[in-house]
Amino acid sequence: MYCIIFLGNGIILHVIRTDPALHQPMYLFLAMLALAEVGVSVSTLPTVAGIFLFGMTEISFEACLLQMFSIHSFSIVESAVLLAMAVDRFVAIYRPLRYTSILTLPRIFGTGAILVLKSIMLMAPLPMLLQRLPFCGHNALSHSYCLHPNLIHLPCGDVSVNNIYGLFIVISTFGMDSLLIVVSYGLILYTVLGIATGEGRKKALSTCGSHICAVLAYYVPMISLSMVHRFGHHVSPLLQTMMANAYLFFPPVVNPIVYSIKTKEIRHSIVRMLSEQRLRV
């Protein structure tokens, strides 16, 4: 799965970087999404590979905090990029003639920098809040990587501040992003219904297909795992572990495949790249 993630997202990044025709807002946001997914995968790699390949079942507290910070930071960026892609699709459909003048390269790269800075600033207090707590007893994690919802069950002190701040992060990032994505698609649907011809509506909606798949691939496993954590007290631990791995593995595996198949420009660039490689050989 890691090979598929790094190869798939690497190909997406390569064709976007090398093909001038793909230096457009939609594909630049896709490149940001691919980078965030690679970041999440690199963050989980040390412990997942250590457990499943070498039987290493221990991690130091400092390394666990670093992994937690890295996974959550990249996940926050990933969610925010999905929102930016929804806004991009709305602008492309609502103001097609002003699309490139509204979403200029400086604005796109500035948006990316703001998203990274925002995730770092939001996540920075969490490791410090965990470090002040006393840990005692059997410190066993239920996943093959360190996540904040899992870590706050281990201390034997008061974790109310951690719970409140963690909830604030979830609501202000994933909750707000998902709400705004729904609003964006509501506006997209309203705009598309105002298009006179059926062919025009179909063409407009077809540009959103890949992004809708990416949103579902990201939020469905996340919501499912969250529901199991909160309400599935009698659910098998094996199912919880499988869902926890699917939550972080499913989007970076599926998204490059979806965009390669459903996005004509990406597909043609990949075919052209492979043809050039074959001619060189």
Domains of the chain, each with CATH number or no CATH: 1-134+144-207 (1.20.1070.10)
Q: Against a cut of 0.75, is the pTM above it?
A: yes
pLDDT of residue 280: 67
State the sign of the Cα–Cα–Cα–Cα dihedral 46, 52, 54, 56: positive
pLDDT digits (tens, 9 = 90+) for 28-38: 999 999 999 99
**Joined tokens for residue 132:** 């002040």
CA-angle at 257, arms to 252 and 258, nearest 5°: 100
pLDDT of residue 75: 93
pLDDT digits (tens, 9 = 90+) for 57-82: 899 999 999 999 999 999 999 999 99
* Separation of CA 246 from chain center: 13
- Residues sharing a CB contact under 8 Å with residue 202, sequence separation 6 or more, in sequence order: none
Residues of the chain with pLDDT under 70: 195-198, 200-201, 204, 229-233, 279-281
- What is the H or E stretch that residue 224 is in? helix 209-231
On whether the CB atoms of residues 182 and 162 are closer than 8 A, the answer is no
Question: Distances in Å between the alpha carbon of 71 and those of 79, 228, 250?
Answer: 12, 20, 15
